[in-house]
């Protein structure tokens, strides 16, 4: 594809990026790239405490990792080394592991290369933390979704209940606040809106309203 269309959707944990990105990708008939899942998959594969490993050991492990993408919209499938990534990465524990490995330059460099490579092969709705600022700075359409910690914790609470993985609401608030602090204050690629991104505060918006704002932004 000569000129892939890239749409970026960034924002903090629990803001609804995945839901909106899948829906927008379906509307545009292009793949959805869940870059957070890429961090989670690496963290899950490497395991607890891997962020404290020697850089050479991490690099050696990463040599065998290869990401692939297929499908469109919510039917998009991200695979790691030939295996589709599933719900095993969707726990709060793995989320914290991912936030820890995301502070490592060696991990970010590896994934930046992998994500940009996918962006040369496909038009994408790319969702994550630094899609508009670092990975696809020239994307023609950039969005930053945000919401209060309380609202994001409630959304995550309901999502986990639906998945049959209930969690305490106050615990979720604490975890989200901790991840916010770590993501926004890390030295490498901190979470922030790109200068040319459209910021949408979704705290008081329903899914339909958020989607309409996104759809209008790419027209």
Query: Is residue 218, in this structure, part of any structural domain at all?
Result: no
pLDDT given for residue 2 in this prediction: 59
Query: Is residue 173, in this structure, part of any structural domain at all?
Result: yes
pTM of the full structure: 0.86
Query: Is residue 219, in this structure, part of any structural domain at all?
Result: no
Query: Is residue 162, in this structure, part of any structural domain at all?
Result: yes
User: What is the per-residue pLDDT across 200-219, written as a single tens digit (0 to 9) for each?
Assistant: 999 999 999 999 999 999 98
Q: What is the CATH number of the domain that holds 153?
A: 3.40.50.300
Domain range spanning residue 144? 6-212
* 198 vs 144: CA distance, rounded Å: 6
pLDDT given for residue 92 in this prediction: 81
* 218 vs 51: CA distance, rounded Å: 38
Tally of CA atoms within 13 A in the half-sphere of 30 that contains its CB:
19
Buried b (16+ CB within 10 A) or exposed e, 39-68: bbbbbbbbeeebbebeeeebeeebeebebe
Q: Which residues, at least 6 apart from 58, have a Cβ–Cβ distance to it below 8 Å?
A: 46, 50, 104, 106, 107
Specify the number of domains making up the chain.
1
Query: Is residue 191, in this structure, part of any structural domain at all?
Result: yes
Query: Is residue 15, in this structure, part of any structural domain at all?
Result: yes
Query: Is residue 96, in this structure, part of any structural domain at all?
Result: yes
Low-confidence ranges of the chain (pLDDT < 70): 1-2
Query: Is residue 205, in this structure, part of any structural domain at all?
Result: yes
């Amino acid at each position: 594809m000569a000129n892939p269309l890239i749409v970026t959707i960034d924002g903090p944990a629990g803001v609804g990026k995945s839901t909106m990105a899948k829906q927008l990708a379906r509307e545009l008939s292009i793949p959805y790239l869940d870059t957070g899942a890429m961090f989670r998959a690496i963290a899950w594969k490497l395991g607890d405490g891997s962020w404290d490993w020697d850089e050479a050991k991490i690099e050696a492990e990463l040599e065998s990792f290869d990401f692939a993408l297929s499908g469109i919209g919510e039917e998009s499938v991200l695979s790691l080394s030939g295996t589709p990534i599933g719900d095993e990465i969707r726990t709060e524990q793995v989320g914290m592991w991912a936030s820890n490995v995301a502070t490592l330059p060696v991990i970010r460099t590896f994934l930046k290369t992998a994500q940009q490579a996918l962006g040369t092969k496909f038009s994408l709705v790319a969702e994550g933390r630094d899609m508009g600022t670092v990975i696809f700075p020239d994307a023609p359409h950039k969005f930053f979704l945000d919401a209060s910690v309380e609202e994001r914790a409630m959304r995550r609470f309901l999502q986990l209940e639906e998945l049959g993985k209930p969690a305490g609401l106050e615990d979720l608030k604490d975890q989200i606040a901790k991840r916010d602090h770590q993501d926004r204050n890390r030295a490498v690629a901190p979470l922030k809106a790109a200068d040319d991104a459209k910021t949408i505060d979704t705290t008081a918006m329903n899914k339909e309203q958020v989607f309409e704002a996104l759809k209008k932004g790419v027209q």
